[in-house]
Amino acid sequence: MLHVLRDVCGYCGCCVSVCPEGALELIDAYLEIGDNCTGCGICAKVCPLGALEVKDETPV
């Protein structure tokens, strides 16, 4: 699952441009993650600030 660290995010749209699924959308100062996000982590890698995290949430 992709998480946005909202205090870190600069709402710049860098992540939006590289998402292969088109799952991210910047709505003013709010980054929306669509249901089609696959958790691939490309966005987390390119974020200039480190505001995105992919977390494994498989229940133990």
Partner 1 sequence: MKPRYDLLVIGGGPGGAVAAETAAKAGLSVLLAEKRPAIGAPVRCAEGIGREALTEFVEPDPCFISAELKGAEIVAPDGSSLKLNPEKAGNKVGYILDRKVFDRELVWRAAEAGADVAVKTRASAPILENGAVKGAVLHHCGETRRIGADIVIAADGVESKFSRWCGIDTTVPVREIMTSAQYLMTDIDIDPTVTVFYVGNNVAPQGYLWVFPKGERSANVGIGISGAKSGTGHRARDYLDRFVASKFPSGKTIEHIVGGVSVCQPLACTVSDGLMIVGDAARVVDPLTGGGIYNAMFTGRLAAQTAISAIQNGKCSKDVLMAYDRGWRESPVGKTIARNWHIKEYFIRMTDEKFNALISSASTMDLDEFSTLNLVKELVKKNPLLLGDLAKLSFLLR
Distance in Å, CB of 22 to partner 1, minimum: 5
Going by C-beta distance under 8 Å and a sequence separation of 6 or more, which residues neighbour residue 6? 51
Restricted to residues 19-48, the positions that interact with partner 1 (CB under 8 A) are 19-20, 22, 25-28, 42, 45-48
Distance CA 11, CA 9 (A): 6
- Give, as one character, the DSSP assignment of residue 43: H
Distance in Å, CB of 59 to partner 1, minimum: 26
Told to check if 11 binds partner 1 by CB under 8 A, we report: yes
**Residues of the shown chain interacting with partner 1 in the complex, contacts defined by CB under 8 A:** 10-20, 22, 25-28, 42, 45-50
